[in-house]
A and B are shown apart, each in its own frame.
Chain A
Amino acid sequence: MPTKTYIEAIREGMRDEMRRDERVILMGEDVGVKGGVFKATEGLHKEFGEMRVIDTPLAESAIVGVAIGAAINGLLPIAEIQFQDFIMPAVDQIISEAAKIRYRSNNDFNVPMVVRAPFGGGVHGALYHSQSIEAIFCGVPGLKVVVPSTPHDAKGLLRAAIRDPDPVLYFEHKRAYRLIKGEVPDGEYVEEIGKARVVREGSDIAILTYGLMTHFCADAAEKLAADGFSCEVVDLRTLRPLDREQIIASARKCGKVMVVQEANLAVSIASEVAAIVAEECFEYLDAPVMRLGGPEIPGVPFSPPLEEFYMLTPAKIETALRRLAAY
């Protein structure tokens, strides 16, 4: 099986779907001729042409709003927002419009659109190129939010998102683009939206996480295993809808739970997961539910010591896990 980088898998996901279905189009800033500022869409303009790979004006609301209109009129658009940090002008179109169109039209209309955006820190991107603000969208009924952590899932989930009849926000970790490599099967496969993946089985601590943190947690779990602590690492993969079944199963199995994310801790995905565990697994808990996340500052600062202060690392995660293991 071939090994690809995370970004290659994303590119292939788009390419394969665009080959498979002529209704799939791609639009965003710099996605065409340049191939994307990260090169995520390299080669697509050449293969599919101007009509299907569109360099848009610098207008996020339009990128999403026009995609909505195109989706309503029979296309399957992938709208790229250059950085998740810049999705704000499009929030009205995403939340007021896309999320609500099926519901408000009583199932007369739907919006089969994907909005892709790179997110996450650790790349010296500072406050406006490093944010993890996916939580904004995860409380909105009508939207789906996915965050793959491996090249395999990146391709499989993107294909699923493109085929989904409802709006899917697809957030790709920019540090993972070239850092994470993995096996990606050739040929047709799709990963199911709404299903988490058990990366590592264990019985003492259930670590529930997503994005780049999945890899850090797996590293930390390996360290703990050497000392006899068995950690189960669960990659959530879909943030809305959460895979409640897997969360509950892993929490009940282990009795100790840590939810790990890169994003700010307050009012986050970790908050929701912790609430689910508290509600559904109380009788099985052998320790309070722990959450690990970014500090309460408005972003990831630029200067290295400041960025390091913000970002979680396998070592920081390991330290926290050991405290939980000892409880």
Chain B
Amino acid sequence: MAITVTMPQLGESVTEGTITEWLKQPGDAVEIYESIAEVTTDKVNAEIPAPVAGTMGEHLVEKGTVVPVGGAICTMEATASAAETSTPVTENLPAEKSTPVMEHIPAAAAAPMPVAAPAASIPSGPTGTHLTPAVRMLAAEHAVDVTQLTGSGIAGRVTKKDVLEFVQRRDAAAPAAPPEPTGGVAARRAEAAAQPAPPTPSSASGDTLVPLTPMRRAIAEHMVRSRHTSPHAWTMVEVDMTKVARVRTKQRADFRKQQGVDLTFLPFVAKAVVAALRKVPTLNATWSDQGVLLRNDVNLGLAVALEDGLVVPVIKGADRLSMAGIALAAADLTDRARAGKLRIDDVEGGTFTLNNAGALGTLMSQAIINQPQAAILVMDAIVKRPVVVEDDAIAVRSMMNLCISFDHRINDGLGAARFLRSIKETLESIDDSAALW
């Protein structure tokens, strides 16, 4: 049986050797372990022993050639019995001052070892909704709603790459060419439903194109989606805020002195809203195909108008706060929102949104629901008006409209009306000794 003899590794870190002398010529009888060649490396000079007994075959390299470790140097004809015993032979490394590792190992002994797991482990994969710090940071920076992305990571995790690619696509999406005009409302509805690329408006001279900020894009994207998702219904009540105004006037100075912030009408309304949400829990909920998910926490979002947009920071666990607590939280969030210092945490997790549009002077508003919530409530301006009171007398009262836009999949008019009535009753029955703390 013919075998190939290879250059052994003759020392630590040695990678090649040079044959200096062939000690056996083709055809010579060779005993096992007998030296067949002299080799020199830059560390040692040594002799290569025969791996088997038999006859020397061909010299595959000439004297003086540099051969890498493992390279073939000659062939040998092993005698039959020698071939069988060659298996254990190669396991016994000759005891020399250098320890050559025989490269010629029978297949069995050379079976590949299982690749040992390197000493490291990736923790078991994330849950689908898991957001890493990098993802949260990028999502905030680029105003991306990650719930809208498909994750490419383990278990559907939205990865940093997913966010970046989304942003790239979104930013690169230049307004597409106008769609082919087709006749009929139905066609246009179908187009709208299929989310067509919006037509490029043609500009006249003197027009200015204001580039879209990430916030503008985000708001636009959200509003369109909200309208498409929830069938919006709207209703309102008017609330007599006279008693509240009286309490507020009375407590205002002390409150400012003790709490360091102004006492507005917002905390009064917010406290009433939060109580009402407890009474009508379907207003503190989210629609899903499996069912209406009633939220346990009441995380009240407050819409804050900014110069170039709006943001909705959230008071977490608002139902556990006193009126003063709500006032302080609202002041803090509003300040930070205006200073651009909100954290991801501050804008996540809202279950209901209250919009104090009245501060801007409007009387009736039809807001768009903040997805995936069930409704959004606007408190419009408080205006002194002549109203009919007990016994048909006319009096001047401070009146405020409370307007609710609600998702008609989750609530019907009854639920919405009950909710509003609860708030109205709370506000109109407030008494002077109302505890603010």
Contacts and interface: CB of A to CB of B under 8 A. Distances in A.
Contacts of A295: 116, 119
B118 A316 contact: yes
Main secondary structure of the interface of B (DSSP, over half): loop
B132 A179 contact: no
Interface string B118-152: 11101101100000111101000000000000000
Interface in B392-414: none
Nearest to A6: B13
A69 interface: no
Interface string A291-303: 1111110000000
Interface stretch (A45-53, A121-129, A157-165): A121-129
Interface stretch (B157-165, B225-233, B269-277): B157-165
B60 interface: no
B116 A327 contact: no
Interface string A52-91: 0000000000000000000000000000000000000000
B125 A327 contact: yes
Nearest to B120: A292
Nearest to A121: B12
Nearest to B132: A286
Given A308-B113, A309-B116, A316-B115, 5 more contacts: A38-B13, A125-B12, A178-B13, A296-B119, A327-B125
A296 B119 CA distance: 8
A211 B419 CA distance: 69
B120 to A, nearest CB: 4
Interface stretch (A106-114, A140-148, A318-326): A318-326
Contacts of A288: 122-123
A39 interface: yes
B118 A179 contact: no
A35 B195 CA distance: 78
A136 interface: no
Interface in B95-117: 99, 101, 113, 115-116
A84 to B, nearest CB: 13
Nearest to A266: B119
B13 A282 contact: no
A7 B13 CA distance: 10
Contacts of B13: 7, 38, 123, 174-175, 177-179
The bracket for how many chain B residues form the interface is 20 to 34
A279 interface: no
Given A286-B134, A288-B122, A327 B12 contact: no
A187 interface: no
A285 interface: yes
B154 interface: yes
A255 B120 contact: no
Given A38-B13, A179-B15, A319-B115, A255 B134 contact: yes
B101 A123 contact: no
A23 B223 CA distance: 77
* Of B113, B132, B137, B161, most A-chain CB atoms within 10 Å: B132
B35 to A, nearest CB: 21
B133 A282 contact: yes
A175 B9 CA distance: 12
B317 interface: no
A305 interface: yes
Given A125-B12, A288-B122, A326 B133 contact: no
A249 interface: no
Nearest to A302: B99
A290 interface: yes
Interface centre among A255, A290, A308, A326 (most CB of B within 10 A): A255
B341 interface: no
Interface residues on A, range: 35 or more
Contacts of A323: 122
Contacts of B161: 204, 286
Interface string B1-38: 00000000100111110000000000000000000000
Contact of A290 (B43, B116, B120): B120
A312 B134 contact: no
B94 interface: no
Sorted nearest first, the 3 A-B pairs with minimum C-beta distance are A123-B12, A286-B160, A286-B134
Nearest to A315: B115
B236 to A, nearest CB: 44
A175 B69 CA distance: 14
Contact of B153 (A258, A294, A319, A326): A326
A324 B157 CA distance: 13
Interface in B41-83: 42-43
B152 to A, nearest CB: 9
B113 A320 contact: no
A320 B42 contact: no
A27 interface: no
12 contacts: A123-B12, A178-B42, A255-B134, A265-B120, A283-B134, A283-B137, A286-B132, A286-B134, A288-B123, A290-B120, A319-B118, A327-B125
Contacts of A316: 115-116, 118
A293 B43 CA distance: 30
A215 B132 CA distance: 31
A287 interface: yes
A292 B113 CA distance: 19
B400 to A, nearest CB: 43
A175 B161 CA distance: 38
Contacts of A175: 12-13
Contacts of A39: 42-43
A323 B154 CA distance: 10
Contact of A327 (B42, B99, B157): B157
A103 interface: no
A156 B162 CA distance: 42
Contact of B43 (A38, A125, A284): A38
Contact of B133 (A124, A285, A327): A285
Contacts of B135: 286
B218 to A, nearest CB: 20
Nearest to A7: B13
Given A179-B15, A304-B101, A284 B118 contact: no
Nearest to B137: A283
A177 to B, nearest CB: 4
Nearest to A309: B116
Nearest to B152: A326
